[in-house]
Amino acid sequence: MTFYVASRFWSFYGMECTVSWTGNTGARSAMGFVAETGSGHVLMMDGAPDAAKPETGGQNLAARPMETVLAGTGGCTAYDVVLILKRGRHQVEGVSVKLTSERAQKDPKVFTSIHMHFTVKGKGIPAAAVERAVALSHETYCSASIMLGKTARITTSFDLVEV
């Protein structure tokens, strides 16, 4: 039985996503999934190939589910850094963040460490402003990194490129 509760609170603070297995549809991968977000977007995911049990492995046709968690965290924190720098009236021309991670060896294979290296391009941006933006995102605003920080040691660094 499914219950639905309609409220303005839920629509503002909540999110929804439906993930469906596509392996039973005759799709190429036995472990493919499609996620349909509440904002109307679609994201494909696939499992890693398994030579020992091909019927339970994916075909490497899309990102792994945990890669999408890492990518979402990168998007969340990069969004914050851009917004904080722009609100500070800095001339930001580019922001990227490279995330590298380690996961636990045994199930559940949670992230145990994540390093975020930011590259910020702009004109006359003080290093202290970038450092502050990264810290604010990491400590206050980025829901994803704060959540992952419950299991992973998260470190940050940055390069500032004058353009």
Q: What is the pLDDT of residues 92-145, one digit of tens each?
A: 999 999 999 999 999 999 999 999 999 999 999 999 999 999 999 999 999 999
Inter-residue contact 46 to 63 (CB < 8 Å): yes
Burial 127-138 (b: 16+ CB within 10 A, else e): eebbeebbeebb
Beta-carbon-side half-sphere exposure of residue 78 (alpha carbons within 13 Å): 19
Helix/strand/coil for 71: helix
Phi, psi (rounded to 5 degrees) for 162:
-80, 130
As a whole number, mean pLDDT of residues 18-31 equals 89
The residue type at 52? A
**Number of residues assigned to the chain:** 163
SS3 of residue 112 by DSSP: strand
**pLDDT greater than 70 at residue 3:** no
pLDDT of residue 30: 87
What pLDDT does residue 8 have?
41
Q: How far apart are CA 155 and CA 57, in angstroms?
A: 32
Q: Are 148 and 114 in contact (CB under 8 A)?
A: yes
What pLDDT, in 10s, does the model give residues 51-98? 998 888 899 999 999 999 999 999 999 999 999 999 999 999 999 999
Please tell me the predicted confidence (pLDDT) of residue 10.
Answer: 45
Phi and psi at 158, nearest 5°, equal -155, 155
Q: Which residues have CB under 8 Å from 83's CB, separation 6+?
A: none
Tokens linked to 8? 């303005």
The whole-number pLDDT of residue 12 equals 56
H-assigned helices in the chain: 8-13, 65-87, 127-136, 143-148
Q: Higher confidence at residue 157 or residue 8? A: 157
What is residue 9's predicted lDDT score, i.e. its pLDDT? Answer: 44
